[in-house]
């Protein structure tokens, strides 16, 4: 698997990069150098082409994008999962104040989080922090606050015992047996035998 990212640049910079990639002798071009460097925060940096510098930001995409390559223009082979994009801006443009890009790469994915994804559940921050503290205490060998560990253990044991018990068998339903049937389920032949003897 390759490691890939999306490089999104202004239109005039894109033309210069394309011209640089298509030239047979890049050393003769005025834009013969490309460079990208990031600051210590890992999210902001500088993109350089030739002697010009452009501000750049590393943004997370709202969803993972799959990248494919082909060797014969017939079959596609998955190359990578792309989750980040480097956005190069003009010098006067404001830097984004979020780390996740609002839109996807294509027009149908515009404002993808709001239009296409399920809403995040409304969680009480106090409840989340309390549960986090309890989990850290439990992992450290302690017990959670406002919770009796012995009562919880007894409840677990009772549930386990109840799961192991087999339910009592149900009694067989009673049916009315006709008088002319014996225990074997055959009709009483005493009348027929008497009639055979008389003949």
Q: Are 71 and 109 in contact (CB under 8 A)?
A: no
Q: Report helix, strand or coil for 169.
A: coil
pLDDT higher than 80, residue 152: no
103 touches 62 (CB < 8 A):
yes
Residue range 6-119 in CATH 2.40.128: yes
CA distance 70 to 113: 31
Phi-psi region of 83 (alpha: psi -120 to 50; beta: other; left: phi over 0): alpha
What's the pTM?
Answer: 0.52
More confident residue, 143 or 79: 79
Read off the pLDDT of residues 180-196 as tens digits, 9 standing for 90 and up.
555 555 555 555 444 45
Locate the domains of the chain by residue range. 6-119, 121-161
């Amino acid at each position: 698997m390759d490691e890939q990212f999306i490089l999104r640049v202004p239109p005039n910079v894109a033309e210069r990069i394309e011209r640089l990639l298509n030239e047979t002798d890049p050393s003769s071009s005025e834009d013969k150098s490309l460079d990208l460097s990031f600051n210590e925060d890992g999210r902001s940096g500088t993109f350089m082409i030739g002697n010009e510098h452009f501000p750049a930001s590393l943004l997370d995409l709202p969803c993972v994008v799959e990248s494919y390559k082909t060797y014969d223009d017939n079959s596609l082979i998955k190359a990578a999962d792309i989750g980040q994009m480097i956005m190069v801006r003009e010098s006067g443009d404001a830097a984004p104040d979020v780390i996740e890009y609002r839109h996807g790469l294509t027009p149908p994915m515009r404002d993808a989080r709001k239009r296409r994804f399920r809403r995040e559940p409304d969680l009480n921050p106090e409840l989340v922090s309390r549960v986090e503290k309890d989990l850290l205490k439990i992992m450290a060998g302690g017990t959670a606050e406002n919770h009796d560990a012995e009562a919880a253990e007894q409840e677990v044991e009772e549930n386990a015992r109840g799961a192991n018990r087999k339910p009592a068998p149900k009694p067989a339903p009673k049916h009315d047996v006709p008088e002319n049937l014996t225990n074997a389920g055959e009709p009483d032949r005493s009348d027929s035998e008497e009639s055979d003897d008389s003949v």
